[in-house]
Amino acid sequence: MSLSPSHRNRVAGGALALLLLTGLGVAVAGTVDGSATVPYPDGGRGRVVVDDGALPWPKGGQSAVALEGSGPVGTRGDGRPVPIASLTKVMTAHVILEEHPLKPGESGPMIEVDRQAAYEVGVGGESTVPLQAGRRYSQRQLLEMLLIPSGNNVARLLARWDSGTQEAFAEKMQRTAGGLGMKDSTYTGASGIEVTTTSTAADQLALARKAMKNAVFREIVGTRSVTVPGVGTITNTNPLLDTPGVVGIKTGSSTPAGGNLLWACEVRVGGATRLLVGAVMHQRADTTPSEGLREAVDSSRRLIAGLRDSLTREG
């Protein structure tokens, strides 16, 4: 695609980074008064117009949004790799489900809790699930404990179950990221506790779009709470699920990472329901995890509302 100098400057400034994403096979129709225009879902007549200039993009960090069936809507931020905290678990779950597929309603194999996973319950400064050594849980149950309350010890247990060691599993995560075109992502562990696990909003958006195509993953990340034998009721860490239309997907927060949120929301476009997927990252980094996550959630809520108002169909 050939862009004029003035248009290139707008893209470089972050106004419509989607124009650079032709590698995704999206034919961008141009701009209308500062609006992003992408093909109408499923090749129907007309186009989806997003008033990019009117969107309440987060002021800090970085963000990326895509409309399924159409393609990228836009990005904001400098796009440099930053720590992603528990967003890492989206890749952990994705790799597990790729290696050990489950159908809706299936529980999968039973997996024994090892001493390491039980010991890690008492380690401070981490989000863990109270597991007892020797107890067995199904693959589905462990994925629920991974994604709903964000259990770090569960992430590492699944990594050892799949690959023998967490290090070997992290190598598999990295290869998977490469296969998804996530060229700015580095995975060094299964839980996200390591600050060396870094990514960008654009890369995490690509992963989220892929992961949400898996029905089991989608069911789990949209679950508000579930009761697990021997553990009790576990509650989703994602408060955005209280927003109408939101169907997932995952929070992640720490002091160096700030607040991070991958989200998916069903919206009405041209009389059809479409999935809007977004990544809001590195919000209020170097404060507290709770402050960062609150900002990520609030920013995502505002962005979703703005996108709902901006998405229209032109004939």
Average pLDDT over residues 81-110: 98
Q: Distance between the two ends of the chain, CA-based, in angstroms?
A: 24
pLDDT digits (tens, 9 = 90+) for 203-244: 999 999 999 999 999 999 999 999 999 999 999 999 999 999
Q: Say which residue the tokens 């179950």 belong to.
A: 161
Question: Which homologous superfamily is 89-194+226-235 in?
Answer: DD-peptidase/beta-lactamase superfamily (3.40.710.10)
Give the pLDDT confidence score for residue 23 in this predicted structure: 26
> With 90 as the cut, is the pLDDT of residue 48 above it?
no
CA angle at residue 244 from 46 to 93, to 5 degrees?
A: 90
Q: How far apart are the C-alpha atoms of 158 and 155, rounded to whole Å?
A: 5
pLDDT over 70 percentage in the chain: 82
Q: pLDDT at position 3, please?
A: 41
Determine the pLDDT at residue 308: 86
Q: Which residue has the higher pLDDT, 274 or 39?
A: 274
Q: Report pLDDT digits (tens) over 18-27.
A: 322 222 222 2
The rounded percent of the chain whose pLDDT value lies above 90 is 74
> Cβ distance 278 to 113 under 8 Å?
no
Binding-site residue numbers for substrate are: 250
What is the pLDDT confidence band of residue 39, given thresholds at 50, 70 and 90?
very low
How high is the pLDDT of residue 200?
Answer: 98
Residue 36 pLDDT: 45
Residues recognised as catalytic: 86, 89, 150
So what's the pLDDT on residue 62? 97
- Give the DSSP letter string of 102-131: --TT----EEEPPHHHHHGGG-TTS-----
pLDDT of residue 13: 34
pLDDT, position 70: 80
pTM (two decimals): 0.85
The predicted structure's pLDDT at residue 272: 85
Beta bridge partners of 38: 48
Whether 280 and 61 have beta carbons less than 8 Å apart is answered as yes
Q: How far is CA 191 from CA 173, 236, 286, in A?
A: 11, 16, 20
The annotation places the binding site at 250
Average pLDDT over residues 112-116: 98
Q: What length does the chain have? A: 315
Name the DSSP class of 80.
-
- Here the tokens at position 136 are 């067995």
Residue 49 in tokens: 């117009």
Q: How far apart are CA 281 and CA 31, in angstroms?
A: 26
Q: Where are the alpha helices (DSSP H) in 164-286?
A: 166-179, 201-211, 215-221
Q: Tell me: pLDDT of 128 over 80.
A: yes
* pLDDT score at 2: 40
CA 34/CA 51 separation, integer angstroms: 7
pLDDT recorded at residue 21:
28
The one-letter amino acid at 237: T
> From CA 258, how far away is CA 288, in angstroms rounded?
7
Q: 231: which residues sit within 8 A by CB, 6+ positions away? A: 129, 130, 131, 145
Nearest to 37, CA basis, from 275, 311, 300, 304: 311
pLDDT tier, 142 (very low <50, low <70, confident <90, very high otherwise) = very high
Contacts of 81 (CB under 8 A, 6+ apart): 184, 185, 186, 198, 199, 200
pLDDT tier for residue 51 given thresholds of 50, 70 and 90: low
Amino acid symbol at 97: L
pLDDT at residue 154, as a whole number: 98
Question: What is the average pLDDT across 174-180?
Answer: 98
| Averaged pLDDT, 153-180 | 98
Please write the tens of the pLDDT for every residue from 254-286: 999 999 999 999 998 877 899 999 999 999 999
Q: Where are the domains of the chain?
A: 1-78+238-315, 89-194+226-235
What is the mean pLDDT of the segment spanning 32-45? 43
Determine contact, residues 188/92, Cβ cutoff 8 Å.
no
**What are the C-alpha distances in Å from 219 to residues 162, 196, 200?**
22, 30, 25
What is the model's pLDDT at position 85?
97
pLDDT tops 50 at residue 248: yes
